[in-house]
Structure 1
Amino acid sequence: MRRREFLQLDVFADRPGAGNPLAVVLDARDLDTAAMQAFANWTNLSETTFVLPPVEAGASYRVRIFTPRQELPFAGHPSIGTAHAVLEAGLAQPVDGRLVQECAAGLLPMTVSGEGAARRIAVRAPRGRPRPLRVPHEDALSAALARVRRGALAPALIDNGPAWWVVELADAAAVRAMVPDLAAIAALTELTGAVGLAVFGRAPADSDHQLAVRAFCPADGIPEDPVTGSANAAIAAWIHECGALPALGSRYLVSQGREMGRDGRIEVSVDRDGEAWIGGCTQTVIRGTLDW
């Protein structure tokens, strides 16, 4: 059995323990899909990634992303964390401060600045678009949101690789106080083909962040995700779609994970083409070898 280099990282964190854990297998060339899925299930983390040589011209590396139950075409914290791991291992080098990640969602540009634990990496998420719903979902949505104070924007199912229900709550305090009905959220996401439900609310003006966010994926074995890149990209896409971005700013900071004892920070920006970028810092916590 061949040994492989293995890392466990803390993503969207300025120090170990503040963000979202990620498992990274740095050389997965002879692992098939079943073996990758089995290992992702065994790690019991929200996502595990597998690094492969690129196939597409112009890509710096290729990555496959798995939850404990399924493969995802794109996810935010796995993209940021895997880029950090690839750079740390010397498997790729940025050109003019840029990498290109190849994943099932396509070729995604990334920016890199700084070094080590202070290195900041951002990825341009696939463009989030509202997904048409072909099944009656109003009752399931109402049940999932039965005990929350809603904001002004309508809920939407936004597809940026995975599909996220994004829901504005009245404010950050409503986000912090939410007691999720996980069974109702699981029923909604299974009915509509969503990976999860993400809620957001605006923070007071004197806060060190502009939005508070929480994300729930109970149907995928993740009751609450600590810090979630794709959900934040979906939120940014919907705020932009609704014309509500100017009140927030084209660059803003998100706080996520506090309710789980974390303190994740996601840097979000929407460029002039309406594309959402998400970024932040990653900490390497575990280095070792893997027998699988």
Structure 2
Amino acid sequence: MRFSQVDVFSRVPFRGNPLAVVHDADGLSETEMAAIARWTNLSETAFLLTPTTEAADYRVRIFTPGAELPFAGHPTLGPCAAWHSAGGRPRVPGRTVQECGIGLVTVRDEGAGDWSFAAPELLRSGPLEESEVARLATGLGLSRDDVVDHAWVDNGPGSCALLLRDAEAVLAVRPDMRALDGDRVGVVGPYPTHGDLASQGPRVEVEVRFFPVSAEMLEDPVTGSFHAGLAVWLTGNGTLPPRYTARQGTVLGREGHVEIAAGCDDAPGTGIWVTGHVAHLVEGEIHAG
């Protein structure tokens, strides 16, 4: 089967979030998919399959080394770019419909290696329980006073978010893996109004970090699904403007950039496009038996 490895959400090679993509994977069993995902040992491996509905152009199943996810961000943009690179052609030029565990997700070709997905509706929203906020803050090495706001931003993976006072507080977080075991929590903090002057790209309004906290990974380099959930929450309540750029992966030596555009009539569901760059770094074949 054709095999691709792409780098998502960065224009700098090897500084984004890597994703393995196995093409034409209909012949693989779930057990085989899980074994391949454990072997690649990346945060996610995506398997391209024949869709089960005529409304979709392809279907994707997304596996971490330890579990299957119904939806994730870089395993949405990455497989779409890889599918196109392998000769895939959507029913509607410029727009591709992906079938995954949460249903149908629209992906748009922005040109020059940039792709956008329409942020799905939240499956769970609203504030966390106060006891949960205090527990998560402690697990992240924060005091309760460091948390400005909080919410569920779950669009499939089960994520929640803490808004901190600024980007500096986000970069200073030092999580305790044992205290957070099983949690999927992210933190976000704004830069000053002049933006992140250290960035070489567009002005960055917020710094983001995400901790899936599993045996395989404590911190994720760039988390598209979390950014989608954050955008629904923080543009919806006016904390962030309709258009902004977020940075993630700084502490890990990555240069992830995610662009958000809210209030878009052409984005199905939430009206939000989540945009990132996809670079094709590895192409070949995988022999699965």
TM-score, with length taken from structure 1:
0.87
How many angstroms apart in 2 are the aligned matches of 1:285 and 1:221?
Answer: 23
Q: What is the aligned counterpart of 2:262 among 247, 264, 270? A: 270
Could you tell me whether the CA contact under 8 Å between 1:131 and 1:159 is conserved in 2?
A: no
Q: What is the aligned counterpart of 1:126 among 116, 120, 127? A: 120
Provide the aligned length of Structure 1 versus Structure 2.
275
Specify whether residues 16 and 85 from structure 1 end up closer, same or farther in structure 2 by C-alpha distance, changes over 3 A only.
same
Give the equivalent residue in structure 2 for 1:284: 280
Kindly indicate whether residue 23 of structure 2 is the aligned counterpart of residue 29 of structure 1.
no
Give the equivalent residue in structure 2 for 1:234: 229
How many angstroms apart in 1 are the aligned matches of 2:173 and 2:217?
Answer: 17
Structure 1, unmatched stretches of 5+, are 190-195
How many angstroms apart in 2 are the aligned matches of 1:132 and 1:40?
Answer: 34
Could you tell me whether the CA contact under 8 Å between 1:68 and 1:220 is conserved in 2?
A: no
Q: What is the aligned counterpart of 1:167 among 140, 162, 168? A: 162
Amino acid in the other structure paired with 2:161: V
Runs ≥4 residues deviating over 4 A: 131-134
Could you tell me whether the CA contact under 8 Å between 2:127 and 2:151 is conserved in 1?
A: no
How many angstroms apart in 2 are the aligned matches of 1:48 and 1:60?
Answer: 19
Percent identity over paired residues: 40
Q: What is the aligned counterpart of 1:249 among 214, 219, 241? A: 241
How many angstroms apart in 1 are the aligned matches of 2:74 and 2:195?
Answer: 27
Map 1:1-292 onto structure 2 (within 5 A): 4-93=1-90, 95-114=92-111, 118-128=112-122, 129-130=124-125, 137=132, 140-147=135-142, 150-153=146-149, 155-186=150-181, 189=183, 196-204=184-192, 205-207=194-196, 208-219=203-214, 221-241=216-236, 243-245=237-239, 248-271=240-263, 274-292=270-288
Could you tell me whether the CA contact under 8 Å between 2:102 and 2:156 is conserved in 1?
A: yes
SS in 2 for 1:184: coil
- CA shift digits 1:231-278 (9 cap, x unpaired): 11111122144x124xx2111111111111110111112225644321
Specify whether residues 164 and 9 from structure 1 end up closer, same or farther in structure 2 by C-alpha distance, changes over 3 A only.
same
How many angstroms apart in 2 are the aligned matches of 1:283 and 1:92?
Answer: 19
SS in 1 for 2:170: helix
How many angstroms apart in 2 are the aligned matches of 1:105 and 1:24?
Answer: 19
Specify whether residues 36 and 269 from structure 1 end up closer, same or farther in structure 2 by C-alpha distance, changes over 3 A only.
same
TM-score, with length taken from structure 2:
0.88
Amino acid in the other structure paired with 2:108: T
Which shifted more, 87-96 or 68-77? 87-96
Could you tell me whether the CA contact under 8 Å between 2:20 and 2:40 is conserved in 1?
A: yes
Shift of 1:166: 0.5
Specify whether residues 235 and 58 from structure 1 end up closer, same or farther in structure 2 by C-alpha distance, changes over 3 A only.
same
Give the equivalent residue in structure 2 for 1:192: none
The structure richer in helix per residue is 1
Shift of 1:159: 1.6
